[in-house]
Amino acid sequence: MKKTLATLIALAFAGLAHADEVQVAVAANFTAPMQQIAPAFEKATGHKVVAAFGATGKFYAQIKNGAPFEILLAADDETPAKLAKEGAAVAASQFTYAKGKLVLWSAKSTIVDAQGDVLKKAGFDYLALANPKLAPYGAAAIEAMKALGVYDTLAPKFVTAENIGQTYQFIKSGNALLGFVALSQITKDNQITEGSAWIVPAKLYTPIKQDAIVLDKGKDKPAAAALMKYLQGDAAKAVIKSYGYEL
């Protein structure tokens, strides 16, 4: 019995010895899914996720300046590819973990109509969107407005946030009556949870392919490899899909 117990304790400590942590830069639109995926991953593998959330463009600059991130979960596919080309990431590790959807949203239930005609009426003071130079969802919002022919009219009303998380807060707080956010921010279990929304037709903007990539600092880390594998598994995919993403 003593020998068996000692063996179990030794195995437990061996498992802990192999446990590691992984530093992950996560696009702001993926905050809620990642906050659900991370503890499940930790429970399944013993590794720990240390996540930072923000704008993809800002993460690019931080990574180039030596930030300790080991994985990037971007809001586009261009930034990971660029980092790989520049030798700051492992090209072979890049894959699309989600396809995002742009939505026009108001925290108030009667503001946004089912066709998005509120944009053409322009009866509001402020329209929130993420900085299009830093955030792919902001760039998609600009594309959509131009495609609809309302950009010039609405441009004076823009309230520009640093990232899509801050955009959501501008609208949620009432500082802007409506704006463009990611569908994932207002969706849970495939249901829009609050306010009023119009899912912008995909034909109005360039597809938002969100890619993951192992960065140079994570290329030899077991925890980084384990997380990339987990994100491609059924458990993670179920969570991602429940927030309105396509796979």
pLDDT digits 0-9 by tens, 8-21? 444 444 444 467 99
- Output the average pLDDT for the chain: 92
Check whether 1 has a pLDDT greater than 60. no
Global pTM? 0.84
- pLDDT grade for 4, boundaries at 50, 70 and 90: low
Check whether 122 has a pLDDT greater than 80. yes
pLDDT digits 0-9 by tens, 140-171? 999 999 999 999 999 999 999 999 999 999 99
- Locate 145 and state its tokens: 């407005």
Kindly list the domain boundaries of the chain, sorted by start residue: 2-99+208-242, 100-204
> Does domain 2-99+208-242 sit in CATH 3.90.1010.10?
no
Closest of 235, 238, 242, 218 to residue 93, by C-alpha: 218
Indicate if the alpha-carbon torsion angle 146, 148, 149, 155 is positive or negative. negative
In CATH, what number does 100-204 get?
3.40.190.10
Q: Are 148 and 118 in contact (CB under 8 A)?
A: no
